[in-house]
Chain A
Amino acid sequence: MKSLLRKTALATLIGLSAPAMASLAYVSNEKDNTLSVIDTETMQVIDTIAVGARPRGILLSKDFTRLYICASDDDTVQVLDLATRKIVDTLPSGEDPEQFALHPNNKHLYIANEDDAIVTVVDVTTKDVLAQIDVGIEPEGMAVSPDGRWAVNTSETTSMLHWINTETFEIEKNIVIGQRPRHVEFSKDSRIAWASAEIGGTVHIIDVDKLEQIHQMSFKVPGVNQDRVQPVGIELTSDGKYAFVALGPANHVAVVDAQTYDVLDYLLVGSRVWQLDLNKDETRLYTTNGVSGDVSVIDLDDMKVIKSIKVGRYPWGVVIDPNS
């Protein structure tokens, strides 16, 4: 007993003296025009930052010093300095930017302009518009391969993936997938791309070398009507073992074996789960739940949802700053 007490006291002292190791999660609240900042250790909102109108897509610069925000209704991309948590700059974006992706060179930002059916490429250092690429109707999802070779845009109405060569800024191939493609995620080795089709209720696996679909998967959540199964956000673990797919109004995240494409489990989260992000050591997955206005935290060791944290109205995107 004494030994137990000593250990407890020691653990408490260590706990008190250790510096906070928590990283921060940033969540864009579409209807509140704010960002919520979550301390991932305590799982509480520690700050709320006012930003432009209708913030949706958010992403970190490669050096993790700046956060880019698609302020859709302000037709601009805002730049937030993470140290001061102030908006320090804006970038030209074209109309109604919703999703974007940053090239590994940390300079070229690919922005999908939903209303104009174009992808705008902006140099974030000079603020120059490098290219405007015509794509299908209602461009939505945007991704750049980790090796920097490809930028992929999804167009909702044409149901296509547009493969843009990042050197020439020209489309090299279009691949038709399920209805209303929303999001693309590359494997860490850039060889496989996963694309979700919201209305189609499917996820399409693309071989990047051949630019061909190699697999198509669908989902069946027990007790949930099939028309509510609408895949949106996707996250892949860097070890290539798991894929996670946000299933929108089905209120579940699908856990998928990334090798066999079998669905291993469906995890209950909040209403209309939208986008996902993994923490640095990939032990936790964060989901934005638009209608219920919260962020669910999934422990990946146990594959269990451990908490849902209330944020602003209609949370859209989430990113974890690994350096905070």
Chain B
Amino acid sequence: MKPAAYWHCFVGIQTREWLRFWQQRTRFASALVRPLLWLVVFAAGFRAVLGISIIPPYQTYITYETYIAPGLCGMIILFNSMQGALSMVYDRELGSMRVLLMSPLPRPFLLVTKLLAMGVVSVIQVYIFLFIALLVDVEPPGWGYLAVLPALILASLMLGALGLLIATWIKQLENFAGVMNFVIFPMFFMSSALYPLWRMNEASPWLYWVCQFNPFTHAVEAIRFSLYLEWNPLAWGVTAGVTVVLVILATAGFRPQRTRILGTKPA
């Protein structure tokens, strides 16, 4: 297959995701409400209670809003990835995914391109969130906005691949509630998104280790450090490694004929 065909396909999938995003502008806006509520309401209530000591990558004392902003960037990507994965489940039976998978290009290429396209939409949401966060004095250095881009894309790929992997096991759309309860919430709460890990260690050492083994923690830390122009090899290493493994597992496991939607039999 010629490289031009790959490029053509890549552009096609990206464009389709863009069109879809443009048609669902209200969903896009409503997806921002969740992290903004956390930032403006939850963080404001806790800013004085928690008190953050100086921890890398920060050079001085920070407000709680500043601390949780990178975690909320992760939250946006996490929710988007799971919803995107859900739509892929739906699409593969009823929608454009079937058409897409009829392409002669390798399936892993098609799926990774699709994940990347979903990631771009998440990244745009994250940037809008970060600009709104300026209003509550979350002010990373200017270059941080550029430096965080690779971390955001990597996190999107990792969580998108995880969503895809989970999607292969979802038998019915209603099971998405289960995904919320058993994947999204534990991943989010048992991470460094809301509390620094040293504080978690003080409260419960076993919970600290659960957080340490949670790849979402490392995705959030990669975002946090990049946003403040610092390098965190552990966070990047774990996020990249888990991304590779999940992408391989997800693309290998994606079988359009395996699942049923709303109880219908596979075609």
A interface vs B, CB < 8 Å?
223-225, 251, 268-270, 292, 294, 296-297, 304-308
Contact = CB atoms under 8 A, between A and B. Distances in A.
A225 B139 CA distance: 25
A224 B60 CA distance: 19
B48 A269 contact: no
B61 A306 contact: no
Which of A223, A294, A306: most chain B Cβ within 10 A? A223
B54 interface: yes
A270 B60 CA distance: 8
Interface of B: 44, 47-48, 53-54, 59-63, 139
A297 B47 CA distance: 21
Contact of A224 (B48, B53, B54): B48
Contact of B61 (A223, A224, A308): A308
A294 B61 CA distance: 11
19 contacts: A223-B44, A223-B47, A223-B48, A224-B48, A251-B61, A268-B60, A268-B61, A269-B60, A270-B61, A292-B61, A294-B54, A296-B61, A297-B60, A305-B61, A306-B60, A307-B60, A308-B54, A308-B60, A308-B61
Nearest to B46: A223
Contacts of A297: 60
B134 to A, nearest CB: 13
Contacts of B63: 268
A306 B139 CA distance: 12
Given A251-B61, A305-B60, 16 more contacts: A223-B48, A268-B60, A268-B61, A268-B62, A268-B63, A269-B60, A269-B61, A292-B53, A292-B61, A297-B60, A306-B59, A307-B59, A307-B60, A308-B54, A308-B60, A308-B61
A296 B60 CA distance: 7
A225 B60 CA distance: 22
A294 B62 CA distance: 14
A251 B44 CA distance: 17
Contacts of A292: 53, 61
B60 to A, nearest CB: 4
A270 B62 CA distance: 10
The CB with the most chain A CB atoms within 10 A, among B47, B54, B139, is that of: B54
B69 to A, nearest CB: 15
Main secondary structure of the interface of A (DSSP, over half): strand
Nearest to B139: A304
The 10 A-B residue pairs whose C-beta atoms are closest, nearest first, are A223-B48, A308-B60, A307-B59, A305-B60, A223-B47, A268-B61, A307-B60, A308-B54, A224-B48, A296-B60
Contacts of B48: 223-225
Contacts of B53: 292
Contacts of B59: 306-308
A152 to B, nearest CB: 32
A251 B63 CA distance: 11
A292 B55 CA distance: 13
A225 B48 CA distance: 9
A297 B60 CA distance: 9
A294 B60 CA distance: 10
A296 B61 CA distance: 9
A294 B53 CA distance: 11
Nearest to A265: B137
B37 to A, nearest CB: 18
Nearest to B66: A268
Contacts of A223: 44, 47-48
A269 B61 CA distance: 6
Contacts of B139: 304
Contacts of A296: 60-61
Contacts of A269: 60-61
Contacts of A307: 59-60
Nearest to A308: B60
A136 to B, nearest CB: 35
A296 B44 CA distance: 23
Contacts of B62: 268
A223 to B, nearest CB: 4
Contacts of A268: 60-63
